[in-house]
Amino acid sequence: MSHLPYFDYPTFGTRTKRDLNASQAVRVNNAIEISGQGGWDPVTEEFPVALADELDQAFSNVQLALQTAGGKGWEGVYKVRMYISLRDQDGWPEYAESLIRGLKKWCPNHGPIVTVVEVKGLFRDMRVEIEATEHLG
């Protein structure tokens, strides 16, 4: 839908747009939808070793994508979809602890609806990917 405004944050986002023709965010009516944000460093595209650090960076990347599209970020997020691919050395307790910490940090005044789906694998061996929708009203 070419009439919708699409957005990409610098470095990773602009490279993804150039190489894959995929955007990081789109505004639809009074909402911003973002593509799945992993725990990559947005400049170097490197991933942290620790699962908790990867999840923390994914939360930060959600904020970056939403603000790049003109949103407030997590404070306006009402819906979150998280995809998790755990490896043998990882576990649900560490993931759950990091998830709860992230939601409390980024959404201190509200609790968005959250769906968590465990998947077999994610792009480039990511362990977590977050999609979010922000209401602009």
For 12-47, the pLDDT digits (tens) are: 888 889 899 999 999 999 999 999 999 999 999 999
Is 77 a domain residue?
A: yes
pTM of the entire structure?
A: 0.93
Domain-located, residue 95: yes
Range of the domain at 45: 6-135
**pLDDT (tens digit per residue) in 42-70:** 999 999 999 999 999 999 999 999 999 99
pLDDT higher than 80, residue 1: no
Instruction: Look at residue 1 and tell me if it is in a domain.
Output: no
What is the count of structural domains for the chain?
1
Tell me if 56 is assigned to some domain.
yes
Is position 90 within any domain?
yes
Question: Per-residue pLDDT for 131 more than 80?
Answer: yes
Q: Is 59 within 8 Å of 130 (Cβ atoms)?
A: yes
* Among the ranges given (59-63, 66-70, 123-127, 129-133), the one the predictor scored with the smallest mean pLDDT: 123-127
Q: Are 68 and 24 in contact (CB under 8 A)?
A: yes
Per-position b or e across 117-131, b if 16+ CB within 10 A of its CB: eeeeeeeeebbbbbb
Q: For residue 43, tell me if it sits in a domain.
A: yes
**Predicted pLDDT of residue 87:** 75
Which H/E stretch holds residue 100? helix 92-106
Residue 75 lies in a domain: yes
Q: What is the pLDDT of residue 67?
A: 98
CA dihedral over 50, 51, 52, 53, signed as positive or negative: positive
We report the CATH number of the domain holding residue 40 as 3.30.1330.40
Measure the CA–CA gap between 15 and 13, rounded to whole angstroms.
Answer: 5
Q: Is residue 76 assigned to a domain? A: yes
* Structure letter (DSSP) for residue 76: G
Q: In a 3-state reduction of DSSP, which class is residue 134?
A: strand
